Amino acid sequence: MAAVPLQGQQHCGYGLTAHRVSALASQGVRPNNGGMSAGSASKSHRVVIVGGGFGGLHAARSLKRAPVRVTLIDRRNFHLFQPLLYQVATGALSPADITSPLRGILRRQSNAFVMLGEVSGFNVSKREVLVETQRVEYETLIVAAGLHNNYFGNEGWEKHAPGLKTIEDATDIRRRILGAFERAERESDPVLIRELLTFVVIGGGPTGVELAGAVAEVAKHTLRHDFRAIDPRSARIELIEGANRILPLYPEDLSVRAQRSLENLGIQVRTGWMVSDIQRAAVTIRRGEETETIATHTVLWAAGIRASPLGQALAEQTGAELDAAGRILVRPDLTLPGHPEIVVIGDLAHCQDKQGQPLPGIAPVAMQQGQYAAKLVKARLRNRAHPPFRYRYRGQMATIGRAAAVADLGRLRFGGYFAWLLWLFVHLLALVEFENRLLVFVQWTWNYITRNRSARLITGDMSTRSLPFVSGKRNE
């Protein structure tokens, strides 16, 4: 979910203590060891939500005043604002700026419970969610599991080209980017220095464009006075896109404008090139019969996504169909065929627009689907019919760098400084809690005035074994 789009509508086509036992029972939680069933512990309709991302969180919050008992299950204890993850990866923001504890978000919602745990599967016939050593019973199940990076069968590439989906991904990328400059400072061989200062971003969608632009700003501005033996401004940034233009889902004139902005930052944009191999110190790309190898030690992946394995698990239990990306084909009301009690939303749902194309995996789609799922539950509790899901398209935006962005608002398309201001405003409002908005606003203001990125911390393994070069020699 790299870009937050901003009129039109699109239609979705296709021993425990007694107190502890009571608390678990009220959530419909049943231990695997044959503990008590909680079927009659509460008269409230039990809604279980898997995933605390945009879709799951909006569903939970939209059920605040409904006569239901909500159990939100996530393997992380926080909500992550993914559209700004690239700013953590490039030192502009800290992880805490774009995360919020789930329990804190829902602390005033008395009908909501948060469970930290890994969902391993489902027992649809018994209406249970399998969470490690427990089973959580439901009457309505909302599955809002997210996406993972897709390397198209080349899983060995992941260790050389990390994607950007989690906080750990972001801090790892930050370590690689900043570490490359630090390693180059220690080298004397100009060939090795050039390799270290070459950064390749694969994928020209919103995430790739934003990431490439941020890396360029780090090199050209943030670090330009920080080193003595190297000039960070000599860094080479390449953006590789397999389609014939970057931002292929945007209008062509905005793609052209975005590419021009990237080139103004010194980024070499290559369209129509496919990646054929990624090694520790090189990327091989091809276009037709032409091939080229780029010597680099920092490759960032923004080229593909695939659905959570929970989609496959749910399909095996229900007989639902999956698309090529592993997403579940849902009915117009986002439920599964033959299972009206199961609602699939967000990145895991294959939901088509009026042209028969699947809705993109972006935050506004998940938010609207989460709100819709809550309305569907409330309508059913009143024994009322509810209309099919309709996605209200409000446009899309992507930022290239400082004072540069593109915005497609339907009939209105523009770029530059005002598009950038609009991008800032929309993302600030979309942050879940006021504290995050304040922190990000202050940090952005300081960054704009000083061009400084205060979160330039190298964390993780920076030992000799993790370095690509030691004393001018390649590590084997």
> CB of 60 within 8 A of CB of 112?
yes
Position 25 scores a pLDDT of 53
Read off the pLDDT of each residue in 145-158 and give the average, rounded to a whole number. Answer: 90
Task: Report which of residues 147 and 334 the model is more confident about.
Answer: 334
- Of the chain, the percentage scoring pLDDT greater than 70 comes to 88
Position 248 scores a pLDDT of 94
Read off the pLDDT of each residue in 449-459 and give the average, rounded to a whole number. Answer: 92
Whether 420 has a pLDDT exceeding 70, the answer reads yes
| Span 310-328, pLDDT tens digits | 999 999 999 999 998 899 9
Whether 198 has a pLDDT exceeding 50, the answer reads yes
Position 24 scores a pLDDT of 52
Position 10 scores a pLDDT of 57
HEC assignment per residue over the chain: CCCCCCCCEEECCCCCCHHHHHHHHHCCEEECCCCCCCCCCCCCEEEEEECCCHHHHHHHHHCCCCCEEEEEEECCCEEECHHHHHHHHCCCCCHHHHEEEHHHHCCCCCCEEEEECCEEEEECCCCEEEECCEEEECCEEEECCCEEECCCCCHHHCCCCCCCCCHHHHHHHHHHHHHHHHHHHHCCCHHHHHHHCEEEEECCCHHHHHHHHHHHHHHHHHCCCCCCCCCHHHCEEEEEECCCCCCCCCCHHHHHHHHHHHHHCCEEEEECCEEEEEECCEEEEEECCEEEEEECCEEEECCCEEECHHHHHHHHHHCCCECCCCCEECCCCCEECCEEEEEECHHHEECECCCCCECCCCHHHHHHHHHHHHHHHHHHHCCCCCCCCEEECCCEEEEEECCEEEEECCCCEEECHHHHHHHHHHHHHHCCCHHHHHHHHHHHHHHHHHCCCCCCCCCCCCCHHHCCEECCEECC
Position 134 scores a pLDDT of 95
| Span 206-229, pLDDT tens digits | 999 999 999 999 999 999 999 999
Whether 235 has a pLDDT exceeding 90, the answer reads yes
Position 27 scores a pLDDT of 57
Position 353 scores a pLDDT of 82
Read off the pLDDT of each residue in 409-424 and give the average, rounded to a whole number. Answer: 95
Position 196 scores a pLDDT of 98
Q: How far is the C-alpha of 40 from the C-alpha of 27, rounded, in Å?
A: 11
Position 12 scores a pLDDT of 64
Position 23 scores a pLDDT of 53
Banded pLDDT at 463 (limits 50, 70, 90): low
| Span 240-284, pLDDT tens digits | 999 999 999 999 999 999 999 999 999 999 999 999 999 999 999
Position 91 scores a pLDDT of 96
Position 29 scores a pLDDT of 64
Whether 130 has a pLDDT exceeding 90, the answer reads yes
Position 468 scores a pLDDT of 52
Banded pLDDT at 85 (limits 50, 70, 90): very high
- Of the chain, the percentage scoring pLDDT greater than 90 comes to 81
Whether 39 has a pLDDT exceeding 50, the answer reads no
Task: Report which of residues 34 and 123 the model is more confident about.
Answer: 123
Whether 465 has a pLDDT exceeding 50, the answer reads no
Whether 476 has a pLDDT exceeding 50, the answer reads no
Position 36 scores a pLDDT of 29
Mean pLDDT of the chain: 89
Position 351 scores a pLDDT of 92
State pTM to two decimals.
0.88
Whether 300 has a pLDDT exceeding 90, the answer reads yes
382 contact partners, CB below 8 Å, separation of at least 6: none
Whether 157 has a pLDDT exceeding 90, the answer reads yes
Whether 35 has a pLDDT exceeding 80, the answer reads no
List the domains of the chain with CATH numbers.
12-75+117-149+306-388 (3.50.50.60), 155-303+396-474 (3.50.50.100)
Banded pLDDT at 298 (limits 50, 70, 90): very high
List, by residue number, the catalytic residues. 210
Q: Classify the phi-psi angles of 374: left when phi > 0, otherwise alpha if psi is within -120 to 50, otherwise beta.
A: alpha
Task: Report which of residues 84 and 5 the model is more confident about.
Answer: 84
Banded pLDDT at 304 (limits 50, 70, 90): confident
* Ranges 90-99, 142-151, 333-342: which has the least confidence: 142-151
Read off the pLDDT of each residue in 337-345 and give the average, rounded to a whole number. Answer: 97
